[in-house]
Amino acid sequence: MQRAIDLNADLGESYGAWSMGDDAAMFEVVSSANVACGFHAGDPLTMLRSARLAVRHGVVLGAHPGYRDRAGFGRRALDVSVDELASEVVYQLGALDGVARTAGTTVAYVKAHGALYHRLGADASAAAAVADALAGAAPGVVVLGPPESELERASASAGIRYAREAFIDRGYLADGRLVPREHPDALVHDPARAADRALELVETGGLAAADGARVELAPDSLCLHGDTPGSVGIARAVRAALASAGHDVRPFA
């Protein structure tokens, strides 16, 4: 059955004085961009360049807040109180939105990064604090996150629209969690395999976990990581496969 699906990527995770790497090419392929807001990566200049690329290519802009942890790229779990966590997420959203407005666009959704993403999926108190803060600070913003998570439940309670995502280039465990990055099955590098996974997710709503068990995800958006080796080739293969099958790639927000 043909359907519409969003294709998102984590972008803007370099720094203004450095090259944007493959970001420019990725903006040509995706329909939504999760842009780092300065805490785990990125800076104001990179945010501005990302916003301009989003406008140029008709890509919807999302905030990609993380823990205040550049050294660990936001992938380390930090002992941060729920109040501090909520305020830092809103702070990062505001920073990107302010820069984006100078480029003629705004932030439409929020997707947490790394260890923060996993905490909000599992920690009910943290998820509720963040959802309530977003509902007050940015009415109308959409939250993108893991299916059947504490964040999805907290967003519903706060009256926030929630979109589910699934990862094309990451392996899954049978319980729906991602395979840890140090495991050999954590990343998908082959463009053809990534394209097959994307089609399976769109057409069946799920895919096989690392142990062969079936994981049901029912995604609204498919994620590719911009820092995965060969990310542009993977993204182009996925986009081409979706188009060939008659699926419409368009933003969820």
**Helical segments of the chain, H only:** 23-27, 44-57, 82-102, 114-122, 124-137, 150-158, 191-204, 231-244
pLDDT score for 21: 59
Nearest to 88 by CA among 60, 50, 51, 116: 116
Residue 188: which CATH number? 3.20.20.370
pLDDT score for 16: 58
Overall domain count for the chain: 1
Assign 226 a pLDDT band (cuts: 50, 70, 90): confident
Give the whole-angstrom CA distance, residue 34 versus residue 9. Answer: 6
pLDDT score for 15: 67
pLDDT score for 190: 93
pLDDT score for 2: 81
Q: What is the pTM of this model?
A: 0.94
| Enclosing domain of residue 200 | 4-249
The torsion angles phi and psi of 6, rounded to 5 degrees, stand at: -90, 150
Q: CA 99, 101, 104 angle in degrees (round to 5)?
A: 125
Query: In this predicted model, what pLDDT tens digit does every residue of 144-180 receive, in sequence order?
Result: 999 999 999 999 999 999 999 999 998 899 888 888 8
Average pLDDT over residues 117-143: 97
Residue 129 pLDDT > 90: yes
